[in-house]
Structure 1
Amino acid sequence: MPQQINLSNPIFLVQKRYFSATTMARALGVFLLLGGLLSAYWSWALVALNTGYQQSVASSQREIERLQAAIQARRAATGPADAAAVQELEARKTELQQRELLLRELKRGLLRDGQGHAARLQLLARSIPPQAWITEVKADDLRLELSGYTLEPAALNGWVARLADSPLLEGQQLSLVKVERVKPEAVPAGSAATPAVTGPLWSYTLVTAWNPPASTGGKP
């Protein structure tokens, strides 16, 4: 005797998986932990970089003093200064100004409360929308790059706006380099940093970069 099967019965439907609050909490927890570890490393790296720049600035200052003394001695002995020496002096002065400017920025990030990479990572953790998560962080003294995924591209616009309003990123260029749709199965899953999801998914890259203003050399 033929039997009828109700295909609308829930047991025959494909079960959907949703991005649970627990999974999001785990992802955020892992990000905060990684942020703390990266903050400690960056603090050490910035101290070393700051020391190196201080030594470089001191060396440039000594070189400028030597060139100035040589130019003055040549003027006193033979008249007009050597053009090559003057040109080298100008180049050294420009280089010194650029290094001093960068050194001031490094000190600002190291010594002022609430500044530097540690504070920026905390800002990212506080402001990131629940529809997005971060999978990679790259940073140096002038650039911070984030890569990750989002369930809603529109959520990134609000995130960028909140970051741009923060005093921590004042004077820096903030931009979304690219946002493109990807297949969920192409994304590594199963970890807190990249939870298993189904449905539309987009990858993104967010960059904040500091560009020091151009310096002009002074006259000897």
Structure 2
Amino acid sequence: MPTGILLLMPPFPIRTAAPALAVPPGRLGYDLDAETMLLHSIQSAEAFDVLLETGVLRADPTLADSPWPEAYEWMNRMMAERLPTSGDAALWLWVRIRRRHLVALCRRARGEVLLTCRIPRGRVLVSHFGEWHVALNSGLSVPQHPGESEDEYDKRNDREFDDFADRVDAAGARNSPLGDWPFELRTELERSWECILDRTLFPKTDH
């Protein structure tokens, strides 16, 4: 769930803790409709030092080395269109995560810093974690229709996916970077990704 900037606002408690103790026990109380959202991000010690020194943590595009530049470029465009923040990259945060998963992430990030933040809803672009991987794989995102059964959805998804793949093959774009795709196909693909940002289209268990 990207945002462009984190601002340090006092008071700002800091403590050192083992991964299992870094996250309070019990439910964390996420509310995706709240005016101020509770979010988490694991950052490097260097990034945390910058936050402490300047009071600001900005996304730095020069530190990005992604094998999926087209998907991140698309997300940056969505942020520019939908958020009041500015910048050339995103700060990624968990807008909702199970406590055990967050603890597991902390265990794999020893020496780094878990930031627990409260950020105004209007400065955060909420996205679906699972569907974001469809964009990373340059796939067509096909959301489930209201009232559509799993079987009906699976069949429709296969039809739409196969039809799109056939058109990509016919254009000779199968193994080409998205930037080299015909404009119409790339536009259709990227528009399908917008469901990643629409909570009304998230699976019910993920709302």
Q: TM-score, normalised on structure 1? A: 0.21
| Greater Rg over alpha carbons, structure | 1
Structure richer in helix, relative to its length: 1
